[in-house]
Amino acid sequence: MRTREQWLKETYKKAAQRPARFSTVSDMEIEPVYGPEDLTADFDRDIGYPGEYPYTRGVYGSMYRGRLWTMRQFAGFGLAEDTNARFHFLLSQGQDGLSTAFDMPTLMGYDADHERARGEVGREGVSVTSIHDMARLFDRIPVDKVTTSMTVNCSASILLAMYLVNAERQGVPWERVGGTIQNDMLKEFIAQKEWICPPQPAVRIVTDMIEFCAKKAPRWHPVSISGYHIREAGSTAVQELAFTLADGICYVEEALKRGLDIDDFAPRLSFFFNLHNDFLEEVAKLRAARRIWARLMKERFHAKSERSMLLRTHAQTAGASLTAQQPLNNIVRVAIQALAGVMGGVQSLHTNSMDETLALPTEGAVMVALRTQQIIAEESGVANTADPLGGSYAVEALTDRMERDALQYIRKIDEMGGMIRAIDTGYPQREIADAAFHYQRQLEDRTKTVVGVNKYTVPEELPIPTLKIDHALEEKQVQRVRKMKQGRNSARVKEALRLVAQACRSGDNLMDPICEAVRREATVGEISDIFRAEFGVYKDPGWL
């Protein structure tokens, strides 16, 4: 049998005078062909069958033959009732889980009537200031039957409290409420930059939520450990994988310090990965993620329950890959990226709309994005067998490479004293910045191609419809918030906020006091102000 070197020599002999044409999409060096000599994984030890340790091939044996992935479309704009209407539209079109986008004031812990909220209310997500907004947002949506994902971080504890109190008012016990809140503060310091307090108290709040949900909301995932925003900030696929899992290690260690048993909380940890352009690289990344996490949980943290070892993940197609130029091309990009997620074995998937580089997505664009998932599920046939690319020389070799390279990063972070210490020194931030710079340089010298941007351009762009947010919306929300504040029992609110502050100082779990404050109509901004006062406001070391 010929070796790969012999094959290369014979294949490229006639083309020796010209450079070989190859893809520059991947962040890793890719061989022109893979064979048996590239496989270092042992089948029983490293690959196995779906639903079996180390879960390289999938967390469930039947995978999509048993149940399709949850189809979620990120939705949120304007007032709560505007987004509620979009929720009902998506559910009527076959979506089976909700995913909520909040506006910047809500994400940063400010009320709609705060001066820093001016011009941002309802602009890039829905405006939620009080429990009344949360009630409007989920009006006529049975929260015990529909799972909800909420993309919010530094104010996540407050939004979760509002969601649970709203469930109470619907007559739904917390034990029956299912969903996920992103709540990954470590990735905020690494990449997205939406924070209130410094890393240590921020992680303390996340740990409070892990403990609280393990005891009182067992169907709720209290943190979605997120690589998505790390990739959007410019990281490589390996960096996304490594930093995400290192964040997960930090949350597990903090929960263990709290005295929690690993098997009591680990099954409710979830993950969130990006799906970028290189199809095989993305499939390999998801497979490697499951294998690394399973081994970490079993060998490092001594988990006994199989459920603790399962890396269950949501994924979203890459917003950073979408182009304002020739935006219809984004439909094709999203389809390829979504297919990579399915072939990689995700449990939940969001497909971006083709117009998102221009504005919030229109209803028509959202429907095409949802139909993309439905066509993959119902027409492509790829859901009929688990891990259909398993055993591919290329995919297995890339999975091994992903695992090796990611573990090198994780070991380095361990040597630095863990992820909080690494963030304090700016290490992951610098690594991502260097990768983003390198990528931009490749675009500019055209060693990487983006169709319609630096190759195959057109002199004039075809206009497409975009969603417009009425300027009157902000004033309506501001007046609504002011009226609510004037009509509530201020003394009861003040006492509730005092108890939140007391819990901040004592170290008691914050979630019960926050839930009570929400019941008494305390707002996102008022509770966030307690965090600012008690824990201080974080400043990025890169800007000091």
- The predicted-structure confidence for 325-371, as pLDDT tens digits, reads as follows 999 999 999 999 999 999 999 999 999 999 999 988 899 999 999 99
φ, ψ (nearest 5 deg) of residue 74: -60, 125
- Between 325 and 543, the more confident residue is 325
**For 373-397, what is the mean pLDDT?**
97
pLDDT of residue 14: 57
- Burial code (b: 16+ CB inside 10 Å, e: under 16) for 106-124 equals bbbbbbbbbeebeebbbbe
pLDDT of residue 543: 56
**For 14-31, what is the mean pLDDT?**
58
**For 372-393, what is the mean pLDDT?**
97
- The residue to which tokens 């609504």 are assigned: 480
Among 69-73, 149-153, 486-490, whose mean pLDDT is lowest?
69-73
For residue 503 the two structure tokens come to 């819990």
Among 8-17, 304-313, 435-444, whose mean pLDDT is lowest?
8-17
| CA dihedral for 190, 150, 59, 315, sign (positive or negative) | negative
Separation CA 227–CA 209 (nearest Å): 20
Burial class (CB in 10 A: 0-12, 13-18, 19+), 400: buried
CATH architecture of 44-75+182-444: Alpha-Beta Barrel (3.20)
pLDDT of residue 6: 78
- Between 73 and 224, the more confident residue is 224
- Contact of 164 with 148, CB cutoff 8 Å: no
Separation CA 245–CA 301 (nearest Å): 14
Predicted confidence (pLDDT) per residue in 56-85, tens digit: 999 999 999 999 999 988 889 999 999 999
User: What radius of gyration do the chain's Cα atoms show?
Assistant: 24
pLDDT of residue 15: 52
pLDDT of residue 19: 46
pLDDT of residue 2: 73
Among 93-97, 186-190, 277-281, 510-514, whose mean pLDDT is lowest?
93-97
Helix locations, 363-392, DSSP H: 363-378
Separation CA 447–CA 80 (nearest Å): 45
**Percent of the residues in the chain that have a pLDDT greater than 70, as a whole number:** 97
pLDDT of residue 332: 98
Separation CA 387–CA 390 (nearest Å): 5
How many residues are listed for the chain in this entry? Answer: 544
pLDDT of residue 22: 47
- Between 6 and 115, the more confident residue is 115
**Percent of the residues in the chain that have a pLDDT greater than 90, as a whole number:** 87
pTM over 0.85: yes
Predicted confidence (pLDDT) per residue in 23-55, tens digit: 455 677 788 889 988 888 899 999 999 999 999
Predicted confidence (pLDDT) per residue in 176-201, tens digit: 999 999 999 999 999 999 999 999 99
Least Cα distance to 336 among 398, 276, 396 occurs for 276
Helices 237-257 and 393-416 sit at what angle, rounded to 10 degrees? 50
For residue 343 the two structure tokens come to 């072939």
The domain segmentation of the chain, as residue ranges, is: 44-75+182-444
pLDDT of residue 16: 47
DSSP 158-178: HHHHHHHHHHHHTT--GGG--
For residue 261 the two structure tokens come to 């048993």
φ, ψ (nearest 5 deg) of residue 98: -100, 150
pLDDT of residue 13: 66
Average pLDDT in the chain: 94
Least Cα distance to 225 among 270, 289, 189 occurs for 270
Confidence of residue 541 (pLDDT cuts 50, 70, 90): confident
Residues near 486 by beta carbon (within 8 Å), at least 6 away in sequence: none
pLDDT of residue 542: 65
- Contact of 281 with 237, CB cutoff 8 Å: yes
pLDDT of residue 275: 98
Residue 268 has pLDDT above 80, yes or no: yes
Separation CA 135–CA 518 (nearest Å): 12
**For 240-245, what is the mean pLDDT?**
98
